[in-house]
Amino acid sequence: MTVNKYLMPFLVFLALFASVAMAKAAGAWSVSGKQLLDVQELSSGDDVRGWMTFQQLSDGYGIPKDTLYELLVIPPEIPVDTALKDMESILPDFEVSTVREMIDTYLEQAQPLEDKQDSGSSSITPAPAAIADQTGIVSEGEVNDIHPAQTASPPDGTGVGPTALPAGQVLPGSEIKGRHTLQDIVDQCNVPASDLMTALGLPVDIDLSTPVKDLASQGQVIDVQNVRDIVTGLQNR
């Protein structure tokens, strides 16, 4: 059987033509980079292309037309449907690369403002009060160790100290904080003052209203954790 020498090339051409036609019909055919970018969702200066118009930039980045023209120093009489690549013949100093840089600068400056507005309009959940110890402000996780009957003093050290525990309740030594005074420890941890002073190596006539964090900063005790350990030992005797 003899095959016509023109038949095979014709069949190949027909198959190729049919593939292109089907791709176009399905919307999957592209001969440029235009379809690779969603001009309604531009995110950075890298997305700018020479074939884009000022209207597409305005819509894609959400920049008002007047603001965009002012940003790029474009005369107001230039139509919004003008492509960037055409501007190079209208304005001698116009460059697409400059547009990319200006867009990035605008987005960087606009983003913090948007974040601030969003945070200002959203409901704010108060964070747990931070409590100062001998090293400064404790972490949020440590705040959860505070006894419910205790209240935090203001950061400047003014105001009342921790409230008294309910009758019959004892504050565990492990929950002592830097703001607790020696008197607080005696009263709430249920340890005798004389035993506490002896265990901490403090003079018996020391001012019991002195907070633990102040004793630590003065070098009279090692640190708050050491006081916790000593008081816990006294409680477990």
Q: What is the pLDDT of residue 5?
A: 65
CA atoms in the 13 A half-sphere facing the CB of 78: 22
pTM equals 0.36
DSSP 8-class letter at 130: P
Ranges of H-type helices in 27-138: 54-61, 65-72, 84-87, 96-121
Q: What is the pLDDT of residue 30?
A: 47
Q: What is the pLDDT of residue 112?
A: 54
Q: What is the pLDDT of residue 144?
A: 42
The residue ranges of the chain whose pLDDT is under 50 are: 27-31, 113-114, 116, 119, 121-161, 163
Q: What is the pLDDT of residue 184?
A: 93
CA distance 227 to 177: 9
CA distance 67 to 143: 48
Q: Record the tokens describing residue 210, joined without a space.
A: 């002195």
Q: Record the tokens describing residue 189, joined without a space.
A: 């941890």
Q: What is the pLDDT of residue 132?
A: 41
Q: What is the pLDDT of residue 233?
A: 92
